With several copies, the nearest count.
Chain A
Amino acid sequence: MPDASADNIPYAIRAYGPDRLRDALRKMHLIRKFEEGAEDSYMRGLIHGTMHLSIGQEASAVGACMALTDADKITSTHRGHGHCVAKGADVERMFAEFFGKETGYCRGRGGSMHIADVEKGNLGANGIVGGGLPIAVGAALSAKRLGTGAVTVCFFGDGANNEGAFHEALNMAAIWTLPVVFVCENNRYGMSTSTERSTAVKSIADRAAAYSMPGASVDGNDFSAVAEAVDTAVTRARDGNGPSLIESLTYRWRGHSKSDRNRYRSKEEISDWMAQDPIPRMARMLVDHGVLTTAEADALDQDAADEIARAIEAARSQTDPNTMDLLRDVYTGDAA
């Protein structure tokens, strides 16, 4: 795995130009600020239901999308805000969705757990753990049959890797040599259940062998490591060589959802991981390699904060759905 010491040029620095690297850091800041803004809005009662925050996992979401164009697809999860932003979503429309507005990505029908951005290739978060795995394989089957050259990145968690859908999806992707990359964001817990207690294998990447596909386990808080592993897998998929499984080792700082009391992990564990904050690590790498000055890096942070504040303000005042439209879009053509 590449590290960020100056005497060894990390993959990301070698692979991408300054604009893309700056944009990647910008997106990581934007995700962090988005999550903080969502949390704050929730506390202020602006958001209905629950939400699952990905604070601490920004390098994984952004790094995994570096190799993708808008033509490529992703399937996301209940913890999908970061994936959505990484794939290029507009944060104002995302907040509009959280606020249940007609202007939201799902017209206020889906909320946090179903946020999607189909134009940008995000087929959607999913309320069902493992629900996106077969769907991603289906998207890859379409790409292969229609010859679009598109690749699908399928995000899922460590908990999802014990669902039968994981097994069936990886097996089919492999036997049909489909262009899909399975990215398991292993944040060590499925809700309260640690991988040690739920998963009969040390490294989830080792399960790749059961499907004769390459498996790699990377530091999910190291942007460059994630980007390198996924770039390699995406190239392999585009070249017609089939799927890969990548385990991205990361950590969620917040509770599982708004109702979590963190009874299953220690304060020390959480603070140790917070010390591994992927965003300063990324910023440091860019500064160390002369891509940005410290001032520029800090500016991106502030810009993200401002963008989120503006987005929340703008989204709040947008229009609510009309209850007369309750049955709209149950079926195609049911548009009011």
Chain B
Amino acid sequence: MNAQTEVKPRELSYAEAIREAMDIALSTDDRVILMGEDIGVYGGAFQVTGDLVHRHGEDRVIDTPISELGGAGVAVGAAMTGLKPIFEFQFSDFATLAMEQIVNQAAKVRYMLGGAVSVPVVMRMPAGSGTGAAAQHSQSLEAWFGHVPGLKVVQPSTPEDAKGLLLAALEDPDPVLIFEHKLLYKTRGPVPDGPYTTPIGKAAIRREGRDLTIVATSIMVHKALEAAAQLADDGIEAEIIDLRTIRPMDRETVLDSVRRTGRLLCVYEGVKTLGIGAEISAMVAESDAFDYLDAPILRLGGAESPIPYNPALEKAAIPQVPDILDAARSLATGRT
């Protein structure tokens, strides 16, 4: 369905938008259930499920024991047999306990069975640093899942997309992982009423520009937009692409922009090496857009270290606006 027809000027937080999407799904589709740790009376570690248990009952908003492998596997088995579970990992770091069920089962069972089943499970992954929770509660592991055929992986950066991508994930017959940045939960933005979907596999151009292309993911989109505003003051017009979907990646939107700007900067929070930016860079470098490149493809990613606790170190471990400004300036002023 399409939102445009029914848009009202209304702002919600990113967390509220996700909750609204789940509320719509629970209200309109009996097969939808929520599973996760402390998503019931507690409302979720980040208060995303909030009061849904009171609206839809404990049979549909299910607190699991602290059993990530089993919990995820139960969601996979339920999805194979008629339910549409939305499974919340309390922190995406804990998905390290469930990789077996996500990667060996959910992602592969349809293929291994020659198409005899689908696994319509949605997994929500609160990710990212900035909360002072240190190395085991701050990772950005989306690149791992982007490497796994059979999975779809999205990373909404706005409340509108957080709702639209979750509803799209629920309409999708295959496993979809949604990486939600913890620091975005409280950010607010316009959110259409009622049901609508944001297409999986489609990037969004958040700002147009002729001088360079910045492809960013999740919270980095906002840092890139902040940088772009400052760059404009120096007469540098950066085009900002919000990738939105990690797998399948929107090749055309990225290549088309690079063909126009001839310069590319990738900005992401995950560890730089083998992070999302590596694929974006390689995808461009192997394409015809390579011929349009006027400068090296730059990447700003997370530091080659675990996320430290100390706030100054934690900040230093991921790209910040000044880093984006420096990289963009060096690119824009580079040879043509």
Contacts and interface: CB of A to CB of B under 8 A. Distances in A.
- The reply to whether A and B meet directly (CB within 8 Å) is yes
Interface of A: 48-50, 73, 75, 100, 104-111, 113-114, 116, 118, 123-124, 126-131, 133-143, 145-146, 148, 159-160, 162-165, 167-169, 171-172, 175-176, 190-193, 197-199, 259-261, 263-264, 320-321, 323, 325-333, 335
* A interface secondary structure, majority: loop
11 contacts: A111-B310, A118-B117, A128-B94, A134-B76, A164-B97, A192-B63, A198-B65, A323-B313, A329-B110, A331-B110, A333-B173
Given A163-B67, A192-B42, A264-B42, 4 more contacts: A109-B135, A163-B97, A193-B66, A326-B317
Interface in B66-121: 66-83, 85, 93-94, 97, 100-101, 104-105, 109-118
* B interface secondary structure, majority: loop
Contact of A162 (B66, B77, B134): B66
A331 B112 contact: no
A48 B116 contact: no
A320 B315 CA distance: 14
Contacts of B37: 190-191, 193
B309 A108 contact: yes
A137 B67 CA distance: 13
A138 B80 contact: yes
A138 B38 contact: no
Interface of B: 31, 33, 37-38, 40-43, 45, 59-60, 62-83, 85, 93-94, 97, 100-101, 104-105, 109-118, 131-137, 149-150, 152, 173-174, 303-306, 308-314, 316-317
A163 to B, nearest CB: 6
A172 B75 CA distance: 12
Contacts of B114: 104-110, 329
Interface centre among B33, B59, B77, B83 (most CB of A within 10 A): B77
Contact of A332 (B42, B110, B133): B110
A94 to B, nearest CB: 13
Contact of A109 (B40, B71, B310): B310
B59 A172 contact: no
Contact of B65 (A111, A159, A330): A159
B174 A106 contact: no
A81 B325 CA distance: 42
Nearest 8 pairs of A and B residues by beta carbon = A138-B77, A134-B73, A168-B70, A49-B132, A107-B114, A111-B309, A127-B136, A135-B77
Contact of B134 (A114, A141, A143, A325): A114
Nearest to A123: B80
B75 A138 contact: yes
Contacts of B150: 330-331
A134 B83 CA distance: 15
Given A109-B309, A128-B136, A329-B115, A197 B63 contact: yes
Given A139-B78, A162-B66, A330-B149, A145 B59 contact: yes
A326 B305 contact: yes
Contacts of B308: 108-109, 321, 326
A54 B109 CA distance: 23
Contacts of A136: 77
Given A107-B115, A134-B73, A172-B67, A139 B313 contact: no
Given A142-B82, A143-B81, A327-B303, A172 B104 contact: no
Nearest to B305: A330
Nearest to A197: B63
Nearest to B44: A192
